[in-house]
Amino acid sequence: MAKITYVEFSGKEHVVEVANGLTVMEGARDNGIPGIEADCGGACACSTCHVYVDEAWVDKLPKREAMEEDMLDFAYEPDPVRSRLTCQLKVSDALDGLRVQMPEKQI
């Protein structure tokens, strides 16, 4: 189980515990966190679960795979370093303390 902080574009924070094996997107969905729409349900077929990962976490996460890179091209104002799709981030104890910030909107 990992505590993950989801930060809305407005700055409002939601700290929730997410079970190992779920994705960061599923943690947001299951806890009613606004700002992550997840239209494709986690299939890496859209960009509506896009977030900006806190800079302290960028190098601690697995590298983006090609499909995630392709979908991020469709995200709203992607950051070449910090942008990730939460459906591609599998939760484990190693993610305890992760902070992600939602963009102004999802497209």
User: 46-100 pLDDT, tens per residue?
Assistant: 999 999 999 999 999 999 999 999 999 999 999 999 999 999 999 999 999 999 9
Q: Residue 70 is part of a domain; what is its CATH number?
A: 3.10.20.30
- The angle subtended at Cα 44 by Cα 76 and Cα 38, nearest 5°, is 65
The domain of 31 spans 2-101
For residue 106, is it within any domain? no
The two structure tokens encoding residue 42 = 């986690």
Strand partners, 16: 4
Please give the average per-residue pLDDT across 10-23, as a whole number. Answer: 98
8 in Cβ contact with 102 (< 8 Å): yes
For residue 61, is it within any domain? yes
**What pLDDT does 52 receive?**
98
Q: CA-CA distance, 106 to 72, in Å (whole number)? A: 11
For residue 46, is it within any domain? yes
**What pLDDT does 103 receive?**
98
For residue 107, is it within any domain? no
The number of folded domains in the chain is: 1
Q: CA-CA distance, 101 to 83, in Å (whole number)? A: 9
**What pLDDT does 87 receive?**
98
Dihedral Cα 100, 33, 36, 89, nearest 10 deg: 50
pLDDT band, residue 33 (cuts 50/70/90): very high
For residue 44, is it within any domain? yes
Please give the average per-residue pLDDT across 30-47, as a whole number. Answer: 96
